[in-house]
Copies of this chain bind each other. A is one copy, B any other.
Amino acid sequence: MGNADNMNPPPPAIPPPQPFIKSLKNTLKETFFPDDPLRQFKNQPPKKKLALGLQYIFPILEWGPRYTLQFFKADLISGITIASLAIPQGISYARLANLPPILGLYSSFVPPLIYAVMGSSRDLAVGTVAVGSLLTASMLGNVVNALEEPTLYLHLAFTATLFAGLFEAALGIFRLGFIVDFLSHATIVGFMGGAATVVCLQQLKGILGLDHFTHATDVISVMRSVFTQTHKWRWESAVLGCVFLFYLLLSRFFSKKKPKLFWISAMAPLTSVILGSILVYLTHAEKHGVQVIGNLKKGINPPSIMHLNFDSRYLTTAIKTGIVTGIISLAEGIAVGRSFAMFKNYNIDGNKEMIAFGMMNIAGSCTSCYLTTGPFSRSAVNFNAGCKTAVSNIVMAIAVMITLLFLTPLFHYTPLVVLSSIIIAAMLGLIDYDAAIHLWHVDKFDFVVCMSAYIGVVFASIEVGLVLAIGLSVMRVLLFIARPRTLVLGNIPDSKVYRNVDQYQNAHNVEGILILEIDAPIYFANSSYLRERISRWIDDEEDRIRLSGETGLQYVILDMSAVGNIDTSGISMFDEVKKIVDRRGLKLALANPGAEVMKKLNKSKFLERIGQEWIFLTVGDAVGACNYMLHTCKSKLNSDEKYSNNV
């Protein structure tokens, strides 16, 4: 070995032992503070630290002082634009959640104010969302019937909102934001598409003017409910619905063609509401089967903190609803905030946003609001209208407040069917065919996950779809860990580079040496697999050699570059592989094990068992040393033969 070693750089050293506390601290920091949020606090005087701390919690203190009149002009326009969208959407989504329509307006007043102070996105517009509303309706509806016990149902909705807020804030405070990352893009595309389909199907009730309708959300129940009542369909309401839907879709079509005309589509819901209300008022259609909203109470949000219901009979439901709707709305809100931040080149701290969303919902639950987040459609309108800061949310809140104080009677004659059209138009935008097709082209498994979520939501229930998609995603990650790639490496001609022989046509095997790359950390979940797979590679290689008549296999080199970590099961695996290799009369060498792996192999005495001289810095070094030994042996053998011949 000595000579071979001298030609090469020294092999990897065993890292010096770190104190347990220090390595624990490092691990915790990497796990919970990967973005190092406290970086700016370093080396600052205490006063500055306090100011920075306050700015960290209330970003408005950071951008507020730099606010200009020009910014305000932009924010005023975008604020009024999103208010015109928020009012009809708010009423529609509250109805979707089986809650009094006025709650939709309440929810567009308090939460945007909270977000304006605590949120760090400049483009997010706060409000209720269709999917969250539907989830609330379906999860609470399993326990309490909204028609029979409307007060209890309302109070449970507040309680669920409180729990959603607490859960969101807790995720942010304990820096567990990565839990949201387990909702993959594919899951969200499928789930949102499915939820949008379900929401559209639910609108058939309003469009067809039906009084009775199924409580189930799956397509089969809905279709059965629709087609067993054909005699009750109301053509007046259907015609009105189709006309407005056509108008809304047309306006969106134009806005998409010319982004400058975004305000046509932004204003369309409000104009639909106004036109619809005038039409009903003039024709008295409310007496001919066109249902209307009816009375809305004047005045801003009444407090609801005393209505929070912690009755043990409903507590589990409230907590479950809170957690599920909370995480779903977080996923949407964070994704929306991030994507607009990416456009405008600023940064968003996910955990900080979660705290803002949480506080917004906690405050909302005490002031007669239900679940709010940052809906994509509204934020996109806000962005297109040229908003500069969260002041546009404040403008929207003030516009909604004025509506609540003075304009609610105007909605008396608003036909429900217009609200249904507004919901359908918004939902059709959420079904993202292109994204699904893209998934199919790039990654088949992601497509399967996406379609499972979609089919689960549409044919079973929202919860089933979500569980299915998350289950599949997690299973995929676990399966990756359980079945890591192992690759055979070959030498790229005229270099010391070794690469996968399947990927690189010109890489060729080194005679007598099998080089394997292991492409994952070695854990209990894959150690048996790796042992079997490595022994199969050796079998395959020996078969190949037997057929080709090359020199027999002598060395097995494991390239450990990609092995980030190892646990005790993994170390036992190495012991077993060493035995397998020894039994076949081969020698085992390791190339480029990482610091963590070296430390554990050393602590478990595996380094002693394999011999420190069999650890190399690079695959090239390992091959060099093996070749050196191969040829020394051969020439020794040759000289021995000569010697014996001579004798």
Q: Which of A519-577 contact B (CB under 8 A)?
A: 519-521, 523-529, 532-533, 535-536, 539, 561-562, 564-565, 567-569, 571-572, 576
A335: nearest residue on chain B (CB-CB)?
B528
Q: Which residues of A (552-605) have their CB < 8 Å from a CB of B?
A: 561-562, 564-565, 567-569, 571-572, 576, 579, 583, 592, 594-595, 598, 600, 603-604
Quick check: is A442 within 8 A (CB to CB) of the other chain?
Answer: yes
State whether the Cβ of A311 lies closer than 8 Å to any Cβ in chain B. no
User: A31 CA to B151 CA in the complex, in Å?
Assistant: 53
A529–B536 alpha-carbon span in the complex (Å): 36
The reply to whether A524 and B483 contact each other, CB–CB distance below 8 Å, is no
- The answer, yes or no, to whether A510 is at the interface (CB within 8 Å) is no
CB-based contact B497/A617 at 8 Å: yes
Q: Which residue of B lies closest to A183 (CB)?
A: B524
The answer on a CB contact under 8 Å between B181 and A525 is: yes
* Contact assessment for A594 and B34 in the assembled complex, using a CB-CB cutoff below 8 Å: no
Q: Chain B residues near A347: list those with CB within 8 A.
A: 535
Question: A483-513 interface mask toward B, CB cutoff 8 Å, 1 = contact, 0 = none?
Answer: 1110000001111110110111000000000
A594 to B499, CA, bound (A): 9
Is A30 in the interface zone, CB < 8 Å from B? yes
- Does B484 contact A178, Cβ atoms closer than 8 Å? no
- The residues of B that contact A641 with a CB separation of less than 8 Å are none
Chain B proximity mask over A431-469: 1 for CB below 8 Å, otherwise 0? 000000011011111100000000000000000000000
Least CB distance, A341 to chain B, in whole angstroms: 10
CB of A112 closer than 8 Å to a CB of B? no
Copies of this chain present in the complex amount to: 2
A368 at the B interface (CB under 8 A): no
* Nearest B-chain residue to A30, judged by Cβ: B483
Q: Kindly state the separation between the CA atoms of A603 and B603 in the bound complex, as whole angstroms.
A: 45
Inside 8 A of A477's CB, which chain B residues have their CB?
A: 477-478, 481, 523, 525
> A143 on the interface (CB 8 Å rule)?
no
CA distance A592 to B619 in the complex (A): 15
Are A564 and B485 also in contact (CB < 8 A) when A186-B524, A442-B604, A595-B503 are?
A: yes
**Which one of A24, A443, A473, A618 has the highest number of Cβ atoms from chain B below 10 Å of its Cβ?**
A443
A9 at the interface (CB under 8 A from B): yes
Question: Any chain B CB within 8 A of the CB of A307?
Answer: no
What distance in Å separates the Cβ of A327 from its nearest Cβ neighbour in chain B?
A: 15
The answer, yes or no, to whether A35 is at the interface (CB within 8 Å) is yes
| B-side contacts of A579, CB under 8 Å | 342, 345
B503 and A178 contacting across the interface, CB-CB below 8 Å: no
Q: Are B34 and A529 in contact (CB under 8 A)?
A: yes
Q: Is A405 an interface residue (CB 8 A)?
A: no
Q: Which residues of B contact A528 (CB under 8 A)?
A: 178, 181, 350
B15, B442, B535: which contacts A603 (Cβ < 8 A)? B442
Check if A524 sits within 8 Å of B473, measured CB to CB.
yes
- Assess whether B532 is in contact with A482, with CB atoms less than 8 Å apart: no
Beyond A187-B524, A477-B525, A519-B564, list 16 extra A-B contacts (CB 8 Å): A30-B483, A34-B536, A182-B478, A185-B568, A345-B583, A347-B535, A439-B568, A442-B571, A443-B600, A477-B477, A485-B594, A497-B618, A500-B595, A520-B520, A520-B521, A562-B562
Can you list 30 A-B pairs with a CB-CB distance of less than 8 A?
A9-B493, A9-B494, A9-B495, A15-B503, A20-B444, A31-B479, A35-B536, A39-B539, A181-B524, A181-B529, A182-B478, A184-B524, A185-B568, A185-B572, A186-B567, A187-B524, A345-B579, A345-B583, A350-B528, A442-B568, A443-B567, A446-B567, A480-B523, A499-B617, A500-B595, A503-B595, A519-B562, A519-B564, A520-B521, A561-B562
Query: Which A residues lie at the B interface, using CB under 8 A?
Result: 9, 12-13, 15, 20, 24, 30-31, 34-36, 39, 178, 181-187, 342, 345, 347, 350, 438-439, 441-446, 473-474, 476-485, 492-497, 499-500, 502-504, 519-521, 523-529, 532-533, 535-536, 539, 561-562, 564-565, 567-569, 571-572, 576, 579, 583, 592, 594-595, 598, 600, 603-604, 617-618
In the A-B complex, the 4 residue pairs with the closest CB atoms? A184-B524, A562-B562, A503-B595, A519-B564
